[in-house]
């Protein structure tokens, strides 16, 4: 369905693109710092997605208060 954003998929794709930009060596120092900062934030978000999914599997979809 067009127009719907898969948050987890978007985060993973963005991480791949940022890592490739870092590996290219074409960034200025200030751009590199910004990319590394965004990459750290996105990796944190990806880790949260993994924890949430594992918790869902363990608890059978039930939410804990």
The structural domains of the chain, with segments of one domain joined by +, span 7-59
pLDDT at 32: 94
pTM: 0.67
pLDDT at 65: 54
CB atoms within 10 A of CB 3: 4
64 or 6: which carries more pLDDT confidence?
Answer: 6
6-59 pLDDT, tens per residue?
A: 778 888 999 999 999 999 989 999 999 999 999 999 999 888 877 777 777 777
Q: What is the number of helices (H) and of strands (E) in the chain? A: 2, 0
Structure tokens belonging to residue 56? 């869902």
pLDDT at 4: 65
């Amino acid at each position: 369905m067009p127009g719907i954003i898969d948050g987890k998929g978007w985060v993973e794709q963005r991480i791949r693109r940022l890592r490739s930009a870092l590996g290219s060596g074409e960034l200025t120092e200030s751009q590199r710092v910004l990319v590394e900062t965004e990459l750290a934030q996105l990796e944190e978000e990806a880790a949260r997605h993994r924890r949430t999914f594992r918790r869902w599997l363990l608890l059978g979809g039930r939410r804990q208060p």
